[in-house]
Structure 1
């Protein structure tokens, strides 16, 4: 793999300053940008390792602390190995913070993240990709919908509540999305039951969105996160294959330049 260079950066937003993790190939070239949205557990060694792996494939990756309104990373102290079933107090602390990240705030932040990326010499001109995990999957969809001129690809892995009956459910934004999408759903995911998957597929199809959605059989919600009890190595590696293929199609083809 290509060596990477990493740093901690600050991104100004309308509501303050978001700390973020930046990683890119260790050279002087500009590379296609990818915005990586964290899961609810936030920026931590496992997530930065994922960002590094993505960067080693030729991308400049930015991982913002989307909970910055509640402080800099780490917003919530976590054990090295996360098992919410054994530590229900974790979500008791994280839950209220998640709920305060409203769709309006998320979209406002996305604009700030993307604008900041345009100022960085490490990020190539042109469209960017977005990938999101768990709660980050919804953020990825909202970003693609709010910035169709900037986002060429968005990947969503073990996302939750993507097609609820709420008026601000992410699936209702399908008509605004021009990016190519990929979904790697978790099997029997309490946060995205079959009826939501069907509703999401229907909305995307009716809107004419280019997308592919797969259910990873036997994989639990959170399967990509190696520092949690939900980790599934085979499913996680499958996610890497699909994510890199999507980004290569959208950001490295002649049409993406």
Structure 2
């Protein structure tokens, strides 16, 4: 079924979103899919539809809506181009944990208001910075997240005061983390720290390191790995299927 675009009013303005739905009448569980640092773009519209075809209403937000009219990034060169890298990190810095939580509440309200969406708790999934957002939201809006997934996400168990592992004791969601190998943003030590925090809090969780580089699940990323990407789709089908119904 074709995707649609819409706008959600947040505490800071108007956030454009793309919504993908399955065929049929529903209702279906809702999922927020957070894009990587490159932001919402065609790749994520296609990924949202693939997840929607598994039986979910999937919302992809423009997390950079506070920079209206921002130009898309070329993901194969953005980190090697000094100017583009600086522009990217400047935009990333504005998406704080507090903003992630406030925006998520608006996204969940929107999903809950749709007649084709069931339930009052939702799934979140994300990639790179979106993987961190997924877990931050699970800790900061815990009553509304039933399953939180992160793929090649960074900063999940860092020394930063906003690190999501520090919120483990309030997370109600089932958590799944698919990390990338040799990823400085999510090291084996950080994976162990996250695992210990979630275990101590009694959070049902799985942490796996894929045999693929950072960016493995997103088709327009240079390190995209087809086998790892398929594994990540299987993980989403399994975890969301068990947690969201």
TM-score range, shorter chain: over 0.9
Offset of residue 129 of structure 1: 0.8
Three-state SS of the structure 1 residue aligned to 2:125 is strand
Contact between 1:39 and 1:136, CA under 8 Å: does it hold in 2? yes
* Corresponding residue of 2:229: 236
| Deviations 1:50-84 (CA, angstroms, capped at 9, x unpaired) | 00000011110000111111115xx23233x6234
Q: How many residues align?
A: 245
CA distance in 2: counterparts of 1:14 and 1:167, whole angstroms: 23
Match of 1:151 in 2: 145
TM-score (norm 2): 0.95
Alignment deviations for residues 185-206 of structure 1 (CA, whole Å, 9 cap, x no partner): 0001021122211111111111
Q: d(CA) in 1 for partners of 2:237 and 2:48?
A: 12
List runs of 5+ in structure 2 lacking aligned partners: none
Offset at 1:85?
Answer: 5.0
Whole-angstrom distance in 1 between the partners of 2:93 and 2:51 = 29
Question: Is the CA contact 2:138–2:172 (under 8 Å) kept in the aligned structure 1?
Answer: yes
Q: Give the counterpart of 1:76 among 63, 71, 74.
A: 71
The two structures, once aligned, show a CA RMSD in angstroms of 1.4
Name the counterpart of 2:6: 9
CA distance in 1, matches of 2:193, 2:119: 35
Displaced runs of 4 or more, over 4 A:
none
TM-score, normalising length: structure 1? 0.91
CA distance in 2, matches of 1:131, 1:59: 12
Structure 1: runs of 5 or more not aligned: 253-257
